[in-house]
Amino acid sequence: VKSYNYGVPSNRRTRNSPYRATHQFTSNSHHGSIFVSSSHHTNDTISYAKPAEIYVYARKRPLLSTESNFQDVITVPDNKRIIIAENKANLDCTPLLKKTEFEFDQVFGSDTSNKHIFESTVLPLISTSHRHNLTYICFGQTGS
């Protein structure tokens, strides 16, 4: 089963389960299929016709006043990506700058207001889905 650990995908099978499920998602049609395979059967496909639309937005947290003396290691190069730079060391102790990139449906900078984020992410969903179920989940640092 594909699981996620703080936004970093990892492939991990559950214990004592002969089944392995993967989800394939095509962004053009917003339709998906779940492929289930086991040691007992050949690959089975379960398709569903309902749209599986999930949008993921991120906002960079501004540096706190106590962090003002530190280097900002998070950059937002455009409205789709966040890059985190991390100082590491190679096995021979030479410095290494490791950059990890994350892609989202939209990324907001640290100076973006809550009102702007609400108006550009929630309001369009409310106006178009007035007859459908809608869940909007926000989480993050308190005050960010």
Residues 4-33 have pLDDT tens digits of 444 444 444 444 444 444 444 444 434 444
- Which helix (H) or strand (E) segment holds residue 3: the answer is strand 2-5
| 34 and 74 both lie in a single domain | no
| 123 and 63 both lie in a single domain | yes
Partners of residue 71 on adjacent β-strands: none
Q: Domain span at residue 21? A: 2-48
| 16 and 78 both lie in a single domain | no
Alpha-carbon 122 to chain mean position: 17
Q: pTM score, two decimals?
A: 0.55
Beta strand 31-38 pairing with 74-75: unpaired
| 43 and 78 both lie in a single domain | no
Model confidence band, residue 71 (pLDDT cutoffs 50, 70, 90): confident
Residue 40 forms part of a structural domain: yes
Residue 94 forms part of a structural domain: yes
